[in-house]
Chain A
């Protein structure tokens, strides 16, 4: 599974868009980009995933660059409850867990 790089922390004002970047320059053609988040003391929560097209669901949008070497998770209107650690992971689709560690992720602080 490809390695990812994320900033350790970010701040965002409540109600504004939170843009969380992720670099995955060694991603392979069959690897997907997944985003999970972990709110304090809870289990990780799936947010979104994509291969090469941009994706949107009720939680967030995922923008993947054309060369697929980086992506951005967008929370369009951040709330205080979005304060969490956000993990960007790349791996092939299918069964099996994420064989690599989740990594340190980005700690997002949403402030009132």
Chain B
């Protein structure tokens, strides 16, 4: 069973469109994250949710809106897509309790904006 899954794996779309990426974890974790990995391979956090509550929002344009319907799901909706949004987006989860922050990452969604 996949611990952290994302759909779709690849997403190709036109500028100006609105798209969503879905993430689900079956690890029973309380905290989920979205990261963006750009063309230079730098991985940067975008959002973090703990028990469906937003706890980190790292200066991400408000075209990006995360939604957590329950603690096992964290979806990312992007409005008015721009060329610079092209990247690989990774979802991750971790257990909230304890001080150890081992994060489990999904396989990534490669977004290409044309």
Residues of A within 8 A of B (CB): 34, 36, 38, 41-46, 49, 85, 87, 91, 93-99, 101-105
Contacts and interface: CB of A to CB of B under 8 A. Distances in A.
Which 8 residue pairs across A and B have the least CB separation, nearest first? A43-B105, A93-B99, A97-B45, A102-B43, A101-B44, A97-B33, A46-B102, A101-B42
A96 B42 contact: no
Nearest to B94: A95
Contacts of B56: 96-97, 99
Contact of A95 (B96, B104, B107): B96
B105 A45 contact: yes
B1 interface: no
A44 B105 contact: yes
B101 interface: yes
Contacts of B99: 93-94
